Amino acid sequence: MIRDYQAIGCTWFLRGHQRKIPTYGQHKGVKLIGTLDYETGRIICTEEGAYDAAAFLRFLERTLREYPTGKIVMVLDNARIHHAKLIQPFLKENAGSAWHSSSSLPTALS
């Protein structure tokens, strides 16, 4: 999630040269899901309206389309959507052939 939280605060300007800095008074954000190919530096990024199991499933399906051969390694943060019932059939169908995921970085490195 990338958030746009504008804080109102004080700053210094020369007398007579104060600037007006517009704010819209709302906290806005965008949900991004992406991959980084560490061998090529290629980034694939998708913007979603909500970060839920359906969005995560779309992300997994897109990742398989973009990388149809070889192994895919993902480091996940153990969020509920990573283990949601909606995701389980996809993970079972693709287990062993394409995916290796880890719930935490230390586990992945050991």
pLDDT in tens, 38-69: 889 999 988 888 889 999 999 999 998 988 88
CA dist., res. 16 & res. 80, Å (int): 54
Q: State the Cα–Cα distance between residues 37 and 12, nearest whole angstrom.
A: 44
Q: Give the chain's domain count.
A: 1
State the Cα–Cα distance between residues 12 and 72, nearest whole angstrom.
51
Which pLDDT band, with edges at 50, 70 and 90, does 92 fall under?
Answer: confident
> Residue 72: which CATH number?
3.30.420
The residue segments making up the domain with residue 82 are 2-109
- Mapped onto helix, strand or coil, the DSSP state of residue 95 is strand
Question: pTM here?
Answer: 0.66
